[in-house]
Amino acid sequence: MSTNPIYHDAEIGTIAYSRTRKSVQLDFQQTSGDDIHLTFSGVRAFRVNDFGLQNVVSRVLVSTSRVFSADEVRDYLQWAHSQHDYKASLADAKATEIERALSQGALFLFVVEPSVGAEIVILCEGMEITV
């Protein structure tokens, strides 16, 4: 079993959200057949689009290994707070506060860009990966 998750071409099999626990669980199956389980706690923003029968990952962007630009943070979080018929806005002060928390490791931004299927954005306080 790999100790370093490989997300490219992995398939998302499970997405579970608990409003009361403010948590999200994602389960991926790598092309090797090994599973990756991610648990997000203290979820502040969460959106999934186009989850279907097949959900193949192109790439995963995580604030622990990637510095997001201010525009990227704003775009991802506006999308996460929006609905299909409503585009949310994000105040400059709030965006700056979130950027600071990301740079300090107090918050995490997790983004799934799909090849097929689910697009996902999660802003949270904690993230645990189990392989």
Encode pLDDT of 40-89 as tens digits: 999 999 999 999 999 999 999 999 999 999 999 999 999 999 988 788 88
Q: What is the pLDDT of residue 4?
A: 63
- The dihedral of CA 63, 65, 67, 68: what is its sign? negative
pLDDT band at 2; cut points 50, 70, 90? very low
Nearest to 23 by CA among 44, 6, 8: 44
Nearest to 76 by CA among 64, 61, 65, 59: 61
The residues, any chain, with a CB within 8 Å of residue 8's CB and separated by 6 or more, are: 57, 58, 59
Q: What is the pLDDT of residue 62?
A: 96
The residues, any chain, with a CB within 8 Å of residue 107's CB and separated by 6 or more, are: 44, 63, 98, 101, 123, 124, 125
The answer to whether the beta carbons of residues 25 and 37 sit under 8 Å apart is yes
Q: Is 7 helix (H, G, I), strand (E, B) or coil?
A: coil
Domain boundaries, the chain: 11-130
pLDDT band at 119; cut points 50, 70, 90? very high
